[in-house]
């Protein structure tokens, strides 16, 4: 099987004639069509050059496309082809003559339609979220009348899965964040001789802001996604429908324990994360600035007002409630297919973290004059 090649002769008028030989196809693996096209470029640019393809053993669309682009999509009487080769080039011509898809028009009506679709999508989420919140309130009212129906087993299970199993990762992340913050601030404070103020900065930042935020982000990515996936799997396997068939409230048995469990354990996770972050900060301050551990924590109690701890616990309650509620909301909206399961789980984490940051920003503005 000969590779693609060519030779150049001159006809009686002294004009160049390009004779092609061999296999001009992908079957000849040694063919280098890019190199052939570059070698033939001087002849492509010669309007008087003649071409003879009758000695080509085999021609496919790959080899024909090299010649077609060099001839700029035109076949004239200076090109000699066989019938089979002519059919191949006719096919390439038909492909080039097909109209190219036009880009979508961005007119006023399409813009209004897109905004309408987005508005309907957002409004459906908001209405479902409010409906879920209302159903939770109704179930709490029911439990006030019949406390013996409270799902203690599911409640304790969610406390364990959302809180106890999260202790190692929250401690590790809190400790590393505390070390990093203390190290960076120690470098700056040492330059101004204000070493002692590292206690003020770390104490206020970690207890009031970083502790709740770190806890919420970790819980949203860890426990929130697990809640959404669990409810989604129950939707896919029709367990939610089975509960309704048996007359069991899905809100009471599935949603309420998750929301109450995470709301209950979140403030404790905030304290746990903040303690490890403060310990990491104290360790770094001891190594970088020479501040003792006892002095660090004694001075911390005098410069950070107790109201900051109260605000931190309130944030923990709010964040735990929001993360769990958003997770359950997206879980109940999952359709019985795996694509919807993965998409809703991702949306749950992103939405929960976004809501937490927005709420924290608003809370910080409203309480800017308290405990500072």
pLDDT digits (tens, 9 = 90+) for 149-203: 888 998 999 999 888 999 999 999 999 999 999 988 888 888 787 888 888 889 9
CB-count exposure of residue 290 (10 Å: 0-12, 13-18, 19+):
exposed
CA distance 202 to 214: 14
Whether residue 80 is found in the same domain as residue 141: no
Q: Whole-angstrom Cα distance, residue 243 to residue 256?
A: 15
Residue 232 forms part of a structural domain: yes
At residue 103 the predicted structure's pLDDT band, cuts being 50, 70 and 90, is low
In terms of domains, do 169 and 252 share one?
yes
SS3 assignment, position 28: coil
What share of the chain has pLDDT > 90, as a percent? 29
Whether residue 51 sits in one domain with residue 159:
no
Whether residues 350 and 256 share a domain: the answer is yes
**pTM (global) more than 0.95:** no
- Claim to verify: residue 324 and residue 208 sit in the same structural domain: yes
Query: 109 lies in a domain?
Result: no
pLDDT at residue 368 above 90?
A: no
Query: pLDDT value at position 27?
Result: 80
Note whether residue 59 is domain-resident: yes
pLDDT in tens, 261-272: 999 999 999 999
In a domain, 123, yes or no: yes
| Cα–Cα distances in angstroms (integers) from residue 348 to residues 224, 317, 323, 333, in the given order | 7, 19, 9, 11
Which range is least confidently modeled, 21-30, 102-111, 235-244, 255-264?
102-111
**Domain of 73: which CATH number?**
3.30.750.24
Q: Do 141 and 247 have their domain in common?
A: yes
Same domain, 182 and 327: yes
Residue 371, in any domain of the structure: no
The predicted pLDDT at position 71 comes to: 82
CA distances from 344 to 224, 232, 240, 341 (A): 11, 8, 17, 5
Going by their DSSP bridges, the two strands 16-24 and 5-10 should be labelled as antiparallel
- State the Cα angle at 59 between 58 and 62, rounded to 5°: 140
Residues 93 and 122 in one domain: no
Does residue 38 register a pLDDT over 90? no
Considering only 54-63, 99-108, 117-126, 232-241, which range has the smallest mean pLDDT? 99-108
In a domain, 110, yes or no: no
Last residue of a domain, one of 97, 130, 149: 97
Domain containing 38 equals 5-97
The answer on 196 and 50 residing in a single domain is no
70 and 175 together in one domain: no
- Whether residues 317 and 284 share a domain: the answer is yes
Residue 107 within any structural domain of the chain? no
For residue 184, being part of any structural domain is answered with yes
Q: What is the pLDDT of residue 107?
A: 67
pLDDT at position 280, please? 93
Cβ atoms 58, 23 nearer than 8 A: yes
pLDDT at 5: 83
Q: How many domains would you assign to the chain?
A: 2
Indicate the residue among 63, 97, 131 that finishes a domain.
Answer: 97
- Confidence category of residue 105, pLDDT binned at 50, 70, 90: low
Identify whether residues 152 and 260 lie together within a single domain: yes
pLDDT tens digit sequence for 285-342: 888 888 888 888 888 888 888 898 999 999 999 999 999 999 999 988 888 777 788 8
Instruction: Provide the CA 184 distance to its chain's centre, in angstroms.
Output: 30
Q: Sorting pLDDT into bands at 50, 70 and 90, what band is 48?
A: confident
């Amino acid at each position: 099987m000969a590779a693609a090649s060519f030779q150049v002769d001159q006809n009686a008028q002294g004009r160049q004639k390009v004779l092609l030989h061999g296999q001009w196809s992908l079957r000849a693996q040694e063919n280098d069509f890019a190199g052939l096209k570059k070698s033939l470029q001087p002849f492509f640019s010669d309007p008087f050059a003649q071409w003879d393809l009758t000695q080509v053993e085999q021609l496919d669309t790959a080899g024909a496309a090299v010649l077609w682009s060099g001839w700029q999509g035109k076949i004239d009487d200076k090109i000699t082809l066989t019938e089979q080769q002519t059919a191949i080039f006719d096919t390439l011509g038909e492909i080039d003559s097909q109209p190219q898809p036009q880009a979508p028009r961005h007119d006023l009506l399409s813009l209004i339609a897109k905004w309408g679709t987005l508005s309907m999508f957002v409004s459906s989420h908001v209405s479902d979220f409010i409906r879920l919140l209302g159903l939770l309130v109704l179930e709490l009212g029911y439990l006030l009348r019949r406390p013996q129906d409270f799902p203690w087993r599911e409640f304790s299970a969610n406390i364990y899965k959302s809180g106890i199993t999260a202790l190692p990762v929250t401690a590790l992340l809190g400790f590393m964040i505390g070390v990093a913050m203390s190290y960076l601030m120690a470098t700056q404070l040492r330059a101004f001789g204000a070493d002692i103020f590292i206690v003020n900065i770390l104490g206020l930042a970690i207890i009031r802001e970083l502790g709740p935020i770190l806890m919420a982000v970790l819980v949203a990515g860890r426990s929130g996604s697990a809640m959404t996936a669990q409810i989604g799997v129950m939707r896919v396997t029709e367990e939610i429908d089975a509960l309704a068939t048996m007359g069991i409230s899905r809100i009471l048995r599935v949603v309420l324990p998750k929301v109450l469990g995470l709301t209950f354990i979140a403030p404790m996770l905030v304290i746990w994360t903040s303690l490890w972050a403060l310990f990491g900060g104290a360790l770094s301050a001891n190594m970088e600035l020479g501040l003792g551990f006892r002095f660090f924590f004694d001075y911390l109690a005098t410069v950070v007002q107790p109201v900051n701890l109260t605000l931190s616990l309130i944030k923990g309650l709010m964040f735990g409630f929001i993360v769990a509620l958003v997770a359950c909301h997206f879980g109940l909206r999952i359709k019985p297919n795996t694509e919807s399961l993965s998409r809703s789980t991702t949306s749950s984490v992103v939405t929960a973290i976004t809501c937490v940051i927005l709420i924290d920003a608003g809370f910080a503005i409203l309480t800017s004059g308290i405990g500072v």
